[in-house]
Amino acid sequence: MKILVIGGGNMGLTYAKSFLRSHIVNTDEMMILEKSPEKASELQKQNVGTIYSVPEDCMQEADLVILAVKPQDAPSLFSSLVGKLDPQQVFLSIMAGIKTSSLMKELGIVKVIRAMPNLPAQIGMGMTVFTSTESVTRIELVTVQNLLNTTGKTLYVEDEDLIDAATAISGSGPAYVFYCMKALMDAAREMGFNASESELLTWQTFKGAVELFHKNDFTCEEWIEKVASRGGTTEAALASFHDNQVDRKLGLGAHEALRRARDLGR
């Protein structure tokens, strides 16, 4: 199987490296289309397959085409690809907000898989939610899922609207975590710890808490009860969070991300 990744940015390069590392494809079967000469030159040095600058040189060679450009660049991408595609090719799009119906209409294709990965895919700890059009066969869908699994966990959904919701939760989610981590690091420095100590205290706390949650069957509420003794320090912090509606405001942020994902699709 030959794979063409259109867009050699963070996620495009992550996919290429992950597929090669898992030995699903070799460098002869991996292609990247990158229009930026500077970025293409950098990719040439990384041994991630054959690098192309124009679609005419590579489109017809690909069995699977991965659309890994920014959604804002979709119109120019569509215009560059029209008339160069094979109806039997499978297309995997990770462009936030761009609907499968838009891809089918603008490109004249029928086999479309739409996915929303996230940044931890770079270290094999990603979360990808995906869906597909009816024309994608079961074998093609399983093949693509196996590819996506090389970057972490996957979740298939029937309802395409959930892809936008996944964009707001898991797609943007790492930034929410980093935001909370920074707030605690800042607080630690205010309390007297230096920068490296603040970082260690925070990231190990997050890492440990996530592992506890992952390796046990307790809910978040049950874990909170285990940490927060009555009249103690944790209860005081949680009361402040409640009074300041921190949970509600985080939720409102996620809903704002969902609104933006839907706007991008329009």
Distance CA 26, CA 30 (A): 6
In this structure, are 41 and 117 located in the same domain?
yes
In a domain, 114, yes or no: yes
In a domain, 184, yes or no: yes
Q: Within this chain, do residues 138 and 192 fall inside the same structural domain, yes or no?
A: no
What is the rounded distance in angstroms from the CA atom of residue 220 to the CA atom of residue 226?
A: 10
Looking at the structure, tell me whether residues 198 and 238 fall in a common domain. Answer: yes
Domain presence at residue 168: no
The span from the CA of 212 to the CA of 223, in Å, is 9
Last residue of a domain, one of 111, 137, 161: 161
| Residue 82, pLDDT score | 86
The CATH number of the domain holding residue 109 is: 3.40.50.720
**Mean of pLDDT over the chain:** 95
Residue 110 forms part of a structural domain: yes
Q: Do 109 and 49 sit in the same domain of this protein?
A: yes
Residues 144 and 180 grouped into a single domain: no
Q: What are the backbone angles phi and psi of residue 48, rounded to the nearest 5°?
A: -115, 20
Q: What is the mean pLDDT of residues 238-254?
A: 97
249 pLDDT band, cuts 50/70/90, is very high
94 and 206 together in one domain: no
For residue range 24-53, list pLDDT tens digits in order.
999 999 999 999 999 999 999 999 999 999
Nearest to 61, CA basis, from 36, 41, 89, 42? 89
At which of 109, 135, 161 does a domain end? 161
Q: Is residue 167 included in any domain, yes or no?
A: no
- What is the share, in percent, of the chain residues with pLDDT greater than 70? 100
Q: How confident is residue 114, by pLDDT bands cut at 50, 70 and 90?
A: very high
173, pLDDT greater than 90: yes
From 135, 161, 187, give the residue that closes a domain.
Answer: 161
Q: Which of 80, 84, 86 is nearest to 109 (CA)?
A: 86
Is the residue at 166 inside a domain?
no
pLDDT value at residue 135: 97
Q: Are residues 182 and 256 in the same domain?
A: yes
Summarize pLDDT for 202-241 with one digit per residue, the tens.
Answer: 999 999 999 999 999 999 999 999 999 999 999 999 999 9
Residues 136 and 179 in one domain: no
31 and 124 inside one domain: yes
Domains identified in the chain, total number: 2
Do 125 and 201 reside in the same domain of the chain? no
- Domain CATH code at residue 237: 1.10.3730.10
Domain coverage including residue 73: 3-161
One domain, residues 201 and 135 = no
Prediction pTM value: 0.90
Residues 249 and 154 in one domain: no
Whether residue 215 is contained in a domain is answered as yes
Exposure string of 167-180, with b = 16+ CB inside 10 Å and e = fewer, is bbbbbbbeeeeeee
* Segment 67-76, tens digit of pLDDT: 999 988 889 9
Report if residue 181 sits inside a domain. Answer: yes
